[in-house]
Chain A
Amino acid sequence: MPFTTLKPNGIDLSQDFAFTGSVSGAGGGKVLQTQSITHNSRTTVSSGNFSGVGLEDTITCSASTSKVLIMVSGEYGVDSNNASVTYAGAKWKLFRNHSGISETEIFSTHTQHNRPENSGMDMIFQDNLNIIYLDSPNTTNEITYSVGAKNEPATTGIEFIAGGSNEYNKTITLIEIGA
């Protein structure tokens, strides 16, 4: 009589299991490590070039085939500062700095508010910056991900975080995902 392998049709998760073997066939996408930094300090920027807004974190991947999931979140404000402008905008970029060897822009986004006047009335808009990006850095060297901002027009300025420190947060999380 041939043996028949009986397979369970469920697992009682209230029990304790001590695995001595390994799990195979689970496919890719395994989380290998996480890094995260959260601040509540306020950084003010007024710059025609992308300038750091005080949010960056570093990770060293365990394999060059790994991917890095980057998640950024933070509250910000843009102030027209009473200038005679019809819009105020914030441009954002996510940079990958490869051990100081090179800096690469890997993601960009933009928010802008338009107003039908240019009489110098103050215009402040506040919004949330949210970036989720899956990067393939292809290296096991240390890499730093940072957020940069640029305001438009030149007379405006960006606060990240707006409304003063200790009230809101800005955060960046890096997750290494195995191939």
Chain B
Amino acid sequence: MKDNYLFRAIKSINENAEFRFQEQDIDSIEWLNGTTPIAKDVLETKVQEIKDSE
């Protein structure tokens, strides 16, 4: 699951976030059980940060 950058990005911002998504598609994210959505641009930036750090 180390290549699941979107999962890692979300959890690094909110480790208790509840969600579901397909593949690595940010647009497919469903925020579950009252989780406050994280903005798309914030997630894209975080994904890139994680990739760059490897």
- Give me the interface of A with B, judged by CB distance under 8 Å: 41-49, 51-52, 54, 77, 79, 81, 83, 124, 154-155, 157, 159, 162-165
Contact = CB atoms under 8 A, between A and B. Distances in A.
Taking residues whose C-beta sits less than 8 angstroms from the other chain, chain B's interface range is 20 to 34
Contact of A46 (B2, B3, B19, B23): B19
B15 to A, nearest CB: 5
Interface string B11-35: 1000111111111000000001100
Given A44-B4, A157-B11, A49 B20 contact: no
**Dominant secondary structure of chain B at its interface with chain A:** loop
Contacts, number: 66
B16 A155 contact: yes
B22 A54 contact: yes
Contacts of A43: 20-22
A48 B20 contact: no
Interface of B: 1-4, 6-8, 10-11, 15-23, 32-33
A52 B22 CA distance: 11
Given A155-B11, A159-B4, A42 B23 contact: yes
A118 to B, nearest CB: 14
Smallest CB-CB A-B distances: 6 pairs:
A79-B1, A47-B18, A155-B15, A81-B11, A45-B20, A154-B16
A49 B30 CA distance: 13
Given A41-B23, A44-B7, A163-B1, 4 more contacts: A46-B20, A51-B20, A52-B20, A154-B15
